Amino acid sequence: LKPGLGLGRMASETQAEVGSTAVALQPPSDVAAVRSDVVHLRSFPVVYRWNMGRSSQSGTVKGVEYQQTMGRMVLMYPLEDNVDEDDLKVEMSCWELKVSKSGSQIPALCQETYDDIHRDISWWKVEAPKEKSNERFLIIYLAKANHRPWTSPWFDGPLNYHKKQLFAWHELQGSRDVLKGLKIDSESLKTIEPGEPEDWNHEISTAMTPEQICTGIDIMESENMVQLMIHLNEEALDGATARVPLEEVFAADVSPSEVWVFLRGDSFTLCNGRFAQPVRPAQSSWQIRSVRRKNLPEGCNVKAPAFYNPALLISLVKESSGTWDKVFQDFHHCNYGMPRDRIEWSERVQRCMVLLPGAPNNKVGKASRAQALVKRVEATQHSLLNRIIILFHLEDKLTKLCESHRVSMHDLFTLMIGERSVQLNFVADSEYAMCWGGLGGACIPHSASMEIFMESHPVLKLGLAKAENSKGKWEEVFKQMQPWELSRALLEDCQRPPELALEDDDQDA
């Protein structure tokens, strides 16, 4: 149970600017839209450092053209003039692709993918012929599950681990029937309807706040370059990329005088600032790196002698060489979360075996499986006590799996509670969201209580006290949400003027 989502107001390193920018959490999309000198960093190219002579950004394999970044693979296949979307059937799983035309499979497009994909946010379409050309192309967009280059669109090994069979080693493990029943949906082929997603920002929302994912920012300067090193929480990043490609989590806009970095699908700002002197936006670059964190913040409980975390490194080239007196005229950043050690590797493996025994290393499957654990949610309120009770009814197989792998069920869950929001997570090698929801009024997060009891299945009970200004009967106690709905609700809460919050506190007192 983690009281509070940490949705603090924007912190600032320029005290004079706090009042004017403290709640400016959304990126300046209107400014970027009208200025031609703004560069939008949205994808990570397959650069030479990752190639090692094998991976390429584009190519052709058996008549299938492809282009890739670190987060996506786009396939292009030529079609006859009279073929349209109604003649095609495209099926995908997290590791396999099958395309049929008028009932007959197209061999070049019926193969296992090189690495896992996010099936539910992958899509396809038939591109209409352009002017002075009769060619039509089938375009297939595959969202990569792992931030890495592919040497080819197709798996070229002798045996795909997704084909392995499940069996129990000894009597303490789950039976074959139990394990077969835990097979996740994304492992199976699903027919994908044609067309791009209606709202891509909804699809790539992570429902994470800056404080959950960002643990600090370093600003570095050389004669020719300015660099921003945004340190990331590894567990939070793993949880986010279990649902969306890492490439879709972050975005940055760079102009000659400003930089703005934000969470792409959730619109929360990580940092923004005005440069002391101009930079060259067209030469900006970024990459994800694993860095050793030498200067940890005060109050951090990290015990590892060599602590590494992932970081987003943004490199900006100066307009003219030389050292500046200061890098930014003013610089604003989100509130930081604290870096923390990960749990022991052996314990992470045990927890992953409870969550997904058949594929404990498949993070896409673990994210899907975590959501499937919640079978039903009930919410009630007590008007006299001004308390609400939320019951999460969990899968009955969970008890047997915990016994088999010697894991205490009480260690498997965390609840992240905001004033008007609740998120239930399964803690394995990272925190996988099981359920998102909004409350019908305000609560007091630090007064929350959590317990687990047994019926015919495990039930997790959450108790919350209503805030002073929300006492009385609520029309709706709890509503389950999609990640983008929760992000929108959190953003609205963050944009509430701080002076109003102070007035409410004074009245309550």
pLDDT bucket at 502, cuts 50 / 70 / 90: very low
Separation between Cα atoms, residue 93 and residue 145, nearest integer Å: 12
Per-residue pLDDT at 174 exceeds 70: no
Q: Taking the CA atoms of 34, 39, 41 and 46 in sequence, report the sign of the dihedral they define.
A: positive
For 243-269, what is the mean pLDDT? 94
Q: Which has the minimum average pLDDT: 16-30, 193-207, 212-226, 271-285?
A: 16-30
Q: Taking the alpha carbons of 43, 47, 50, 52 in that order, is the dihedral positive or negative? A: positive
In this predicted structure, what is the pLDDT of residue 54?
A: 61
Cα–Cα dist 5/430, whole Å? 17
26, 491 contact by CB (below 8 A): yes
Question: Which range has the worst mean pLDDT, 177-186, 272-281, 477-486?
Answer: 177-186
Predicted pLDDT of residue 130: 66
pTM of the full structure:
0.85
- Lowest-confidence pick of 28-32, 66-70, 76-80, 454-458: 28-32
Q: Work out the burial of residue 483: count CB atoms within 10 Å of its CB; fewer than 13 is exposed, 13-18 middle, 19 or more buried.
A: buried
Query: Has residue 1 got a pLDDT over 80?
Result: no
Q: Which one has a higher pLDDT value, 251 or 175?
A: 251
On average, the pLDDT of the chain sits at 84
- Give the span between the Cα atoms of 485 and 68, in whole angstroms: 30
Position 167 scores a pLDDT of: 63
pLDDT tens, position by position, 198-222? 888 899 999 999 999 999 999 999 9
> What's the mean pLDDT in 124-142?
82
Residue 436 in this model has a pLDDT that exceeds 70: yes
pLDDT attached to residue 26: 45
Element spanning 104, H or E: strand 104-105
User: Residue with structure tokens 């101009």?
Assistant: 278
pLDDT in tens, 456-481: 999 999 999 999 989 989 999 999 99
Query: In this predicted structure, what is the pLDDT of residue 76?
Result: 94
Per DSSP, which regions of 255-327 are E strands?
258-263, 269-275, 279-292, 308-318
Parallel, antiparallel or unpaired: strands 72-79 and 279-292: unpaired
pLDDT of residue 106: 94
pLDDT more than 90, % of the chain: 62
pLDDT band at 133 (very low <50, low <70, confident <90, very high): low
Burial of 499 (0-12, 13-18, 19+ CB in 10 A): exposed
Model pLDDT, residue 499: 39
**500 vs 71, more confident:** 71
Among the residue ranges 37-51, 225-239, 429-443, 449-463, the one predicted with the least confidence is: 37-51
As given in the structure block, the two tokens for residue 301 are: 């409980």
Q: What b/e string do you get for 415-451 counting C-beta neighbours within 10 Å, with b at 16 or more? A: bbbbbbbbbbbbbbbbbbbbbbbbbbbbbbbeebebe
Q: Who has greater pLDDT, 81 or 351?
A: 351
Q: What percent of the chain has pLDDT over 70?
A: 83
pLDDT range class, residue 145, cuts 50, 70, 90: very high
Sheet holding 449-454, edge to edge: 374-382, 387-394, 458-465, 449-454
Residue 182 has pLDDT above 80, yes or no: no
What does the pLDDT read at residue 187?
Answer: 85
Amino acid 32: pLDDT: 37
* Residue 30 pLDDT > 80: no
Write out pLDDT tens, residues 89-104.
999 999 999 999 988 9
